[in-house]
Structure 1
Amino acid sequence: MRVLLIGATGMIGRRIADEARRRGHEVTGVTRSGNEGTAKAEAGDTEAIAALAEGHDAAVLSVPPPRDGSETTGPLLAITRGVLDGLRRAGVRRLIVVGGAGSLEAAPGVRLVDTPGFPAMYKNEALAAAEQLGVVRAEAGDLDWTYISPAAVIEPGDRTGAFRLGGDRLLADADGNSAISAEDYAIALVDELEKDDAVRRRITVAY
């Protein structure tokens, strides 16, 4: 499979690239800088994404909300819409979005981002990612998309291959901890690329 990976050098993106290549897939990495052997492009540049996506079987969008300014939602949604339009122009239907956990339900009708204990420093990013999910659900119906939310905590760790998949509810263990390693998240994402089990819906992965 030929995979266009937008955001290939981030903490999650580079692990997705490693996992996909481990399984024999061809990965075209895309970054703003063009470093580390990636193609240089702005993710929101429709024409650039269309040109890079040509001939690929699928795309992965692994770009978090920007952290270098007070405005996070607008730039992330512009990137998302640019990628959606670019894939349409290139005729690439399959898209997986690396999403956020804040929009997951911590209790019926209550998003994690809206719970009292949610860290204030991450709230704007979480709200932006929640808006991104809304855009994908509302505007990407002509594409075969999947939005994959991690657990509440995702960080580098072990590649175990042992995890659980869920839907819109936050997954936590018996002690209330919700976590996943970036390595195991990458396994779940590439599994979905290969199996297409969750087309046009959001899933989550956690221990």
Structure 2
Amino acid sequence: MSRHPPAVAPGTATPNRSVTADIFDRQAPRQALLSAVQGHEVLASAYRGSINATATVADAARALVAAARGAGIRRIVVVGGSGILEVAPGVQLADTPGFSDILKPVSLAHQDAVDVFHEAGDLDWNG
């Protein structure tokens, strides 16, 4: 699923299905996203967010949780946000010397998203 799925030539045999859905679609309850994930067992996300719009990372997490719940999906797999990886007990990569000041806000936003997933105690997630 993507907001901009790759083009597949007509008549091309493929076991994959490309679906367009905007995670920020404000239609209640995000019908396009819910329709796109319906019938799946796992919801995977590699949403990064923009350096200029870091709040979207937690917003995306909330949308994924809502879509998973609405579709009866119990497992979410999240890829990304390496700045929040713990490199020593209690120390995240984003807090180490030399970590990019430009990327730090995005890394902190990924921590906010992790908090959203932690609060969704009815779902099994890993990142």
Instruction: Quote the sequence identity (%).
Output: 35
1:113 aligns to 2:94 (yes or no): yes
- Could you tell me the TM-score, scaled by structure 2's length? 0.79
Judged with a 3 Å threshold, the aligned counterparts in structure 2 of structure 1 residues 66 and 57 are, in CA distance, closer, same or farther, namely: same
CA distance in structure 1 between the partners assigned to 2:70 and 2:5 by the alignment? 22
TM-superposed deviation, 1:137: 0.9
Q: Which has the higher strand share?
A: 1
**Which of 8, 28, 36 is the matching residue for 2:7?**
36
Hey, what does 2:11 align to over in structure 1?
A: none
Hey, what does 1:71 align to over in structure 2?
A: 53
CA distance in structure 2 between the partners assigned to 1:61 and 1:104 by the alignment? 17
5+ long unaligned stretches in structure 2: 9-17
CA distance in structure 2 between the partners assigned to 1:102 and 1:90 by the alignment? 30
5+ long unaligned stretches in structure 1: 1-29, 148-207
**Which of 129, 140, 157 is the matching residue for 2:110?**
129
User: What RMSD in Å do the two structures reach over aligned CA positions?
Assistant: 1.6
Provide Cα deviations, 1:67-116, integer angstroms capped at 9, x if missing partner: 4xx221x1111111111101111111121011312122222222211112
Matches within 5 A, 1:1-207: 30-37=1-8, 38-45=18-25, 46-67=30-51, 70-72=52-54, 74-138=55-119, 140-147=120-127
CA distance in structure 1 between the partners assigned to 2:44 and 2:97 by the alignment? 32
Provide Cα deviations, 1:26-82, integer angstroms capped at 9, x if missing partner: xxxx11123335211112343222111111121101111224xx221x111111111
Alignment: residue pair count: 114
| 1:52 alignment partner AA | A
| 1:91 alignment partner AA | G
CA distance in structure 2 between the partners assigned to 1:79 and 1:44 by the alignment? 7
